[in-house]
């Protein structure tokens, strides 16, 4: 199983970015929502891993 990393960066103006690494498919959304809380999202960019199904990732890691 791939290690999961969450990186939160807050700049001098108080703006934050959230980078999820090692998450696949809908688990990306779940982790993001847990951190987002009630904050407003100004820009959302999904990585390629978001579009990979968890089933596909499990099959890939078994081989």
pLDDT in tens, 3-54: 999 999 999 999 889 999 998 888 888 888 888 888 888 888 888 888 886 5
Q: Is the Cβ–Cβ distance between 6 and 20 less than 8 Å? A: yes
Cβ partners under 8 Å of residue 57, min gap 6: 2, 24, 25
- Structural domain count of the chain: 1
Residue 47 CB coordination number (10 Å):
13
pLDDT score recorded for residue 55: 54
pTM: 0.64
Q: Which domain holds residue 24?
A: 5-62
The 8-class DSSP code of residue 50 comes to: G
The 8-class DSSP code of residue 37 comes to: T
């Amino acid at each position: 199983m791939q290690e999961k990393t969450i990186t939160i960066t807050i700049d001098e103006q108080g703006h934050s970015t959230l980078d999820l690494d090692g998450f696949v498919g809908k688990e990306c959304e779940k982790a993001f929502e847990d951190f987002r809380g009630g904050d407003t999202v100004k820009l959302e960019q999904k990585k390629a891993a978001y579009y990979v199904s968890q089933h596909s990732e499990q099959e890939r890691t078994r081989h």
